[in-house]
Amino acid sequence: MRVRRSFEFEAAHRLPGHPGKCRELHGHSYRLVVTVDGRVDAASGMTIDFADLKAAVRREVVALLDHRFVNDVIENPTAEAMAVWIWSRLAPALAGLVEVELFETRSCSVVYRGE
């Protein structure tokens, strides 16, 4: 069973290697979707409690990035680099983590599956 939960946070960054306007300081309303895969526990009827998923993501990711300058945390915070960083924070905390999807805008996202 796959369980997904979405999170939102606001953050600013600049992309030092970008040749265009993203080289300058700007911000995004990020949306993060975290997916966990596992068996449904017979006793609880759940794969993971949504509250436990929420607590792990807020503690490991949102608390560190929300209303922050992401360059202070990730050297070149492209969406791709951020997704890998998020994975590295969540993998030890969430058994069965299979995917993180990070939206920079409503129509632009990256998906990372721990490759």
Task: Respond yes or no: is residue 115 known to be catalytic.
Answer: no
Looking at the DSSP bridge assignments, the partners of residue 78 are: none
Which of these is catalytic: 24, 67, 75, 115?
67
Q: What is the DSSP letter of 106?
A: S
- Is residue 104 among the annotated active site residues? yes
Radius of gyration, alpha carbons of the chain: 15
Are 16 and 23 a contacting pair, CB within 8 Å? yes
> What is the rounded distance in angstroms from the CA atom of residue 17 to the CA atom of residue 13?
12
Q: Which of 13, 60, 101, 104 is catalytic?
A: 104
Question: Looking at the annotation, which residues are catalytic?
Answer: 22, 67, 104
